[in-house]
Structure 1
């Protein structure tokens, strides 16, 4: 009996990365008889001699995530033609799972909390503010002081 391949080669690595980028799950890819196990792929990722694979794998995962974002639109558009509550709820679950994954994997783009740049008092040149901007700045300072009391 021939075992599954576990020796690294560029052809397998490229197929894994291309299929990930196209949206396949790693466990699905590794279920194919000609593919290594997921444990082997994870071992390759931690192998210092395979840095190029790690870079390609990371890029493929990013592409996979952007594909999920596209899928959310397709799923949502298709939900309009769903004819049962079961189908509607299935589509909602599929879209919600992808949204949750995106919010965790790429929080800067898909996260719930917007990133806010805070300008401290020392970084703000009050001499360059218009009268309206200066009034807004003073009101904000008063509100912050009131909220902290």
Structure 2
């Protein structure tokens, strides 16, 4: 933050925890809340230097008209004014002791409201000039219940990513594409009576007429042999 990056931009880094996780960390840790407040005020100091750069940048204050005569570039000037006013507003609200309209002696300690669930006001911590008791946060465990060493940054980062994916605050890596099954394609659309008659003639020519078994049994055997022949012929592993 001291180098000009906000919390959202920092948490967009894949190697960093999400913004919800960060706010959940400092929700019950007054020490980290104080550090975060100091970092945010350092960001306001960065904005003050940014205002100076915007104000002194007169490179595009004038442009040339069709006749080649210089004239004021009102679009550039208005845009610069909007940037300066926006930064001034943020500085006055987030660091009023230094950049507010009133004298530092008249500025009371501002309420610090930190929440990782903004829609639920019960989860917010409000400090009105009183430092509450510090609560110890439980250590991080793995799925087996073992405590992860706090100095093992790689293991902690891996565990945080796993938990965030389960909570739905971090998108899981895309799954590999599913394998396509072999499709032999549709049967011929011309399955009319002529083809059926030809199939019956083929069966009559190759099945002995002296077979004394019931017709249903003979038909089942013939169909099974036809299916076996078609599978042998058109199977993707055939040949």
Q: TM-score range by the shorter chain?
A: 0.5 to 0.7
Q: Which has the higher strand share?
A: 2
1:71 aligns with 2:50: yes
CA distance in 1, matches of 2:89, 2:97: 13
Q: 2:60 aligns with which of 75, 82, 100?
A: 82
Q: Which has the larger radius of gyration?
A: 2
Alpha-carbon RMSD across the aligned residues, in angstroms, is: 2.1
Aligned pairs for 1:1-149 within 5 A: 20-48=1-29, 51-78=30-57, 80-83=58-61, 84-114=73-103
Deviation at 1:114, TM superposition (A): 4.0
Q: How many residues align?
A: 95
2:54 touches 2:80 (CA, 8 Å); kept in 1?
Answer: yes
Task: Name structure 1 gaps, 5 residues minimum.
Answer: 1-19, 118-149
Change (3 A) 1:81 1:62: same
Superposed CA offset, 1:82-104 (max 9, x none): 24322222211111111111111
Instruction: After superposition, give the CA deviation of every residue in 1:42-76 in whole Å (9 maximum; x if it has no partner).
Output: 1111133xx44333222211111111111111110
TM-score, L = length of structure 1? 0.56
Identify which range, 82-91 or 56-65, moves more after superposition: 82-91
- Structure 2: tracts of 5 or more residues without a match: 62-72, 107-239
Distance change in 2, residues 1:70/1:116 (3 Å): same
Are the aligned partners of 2:40 and 2:94 in contact in 1 as well (CA < 8 Å)? no
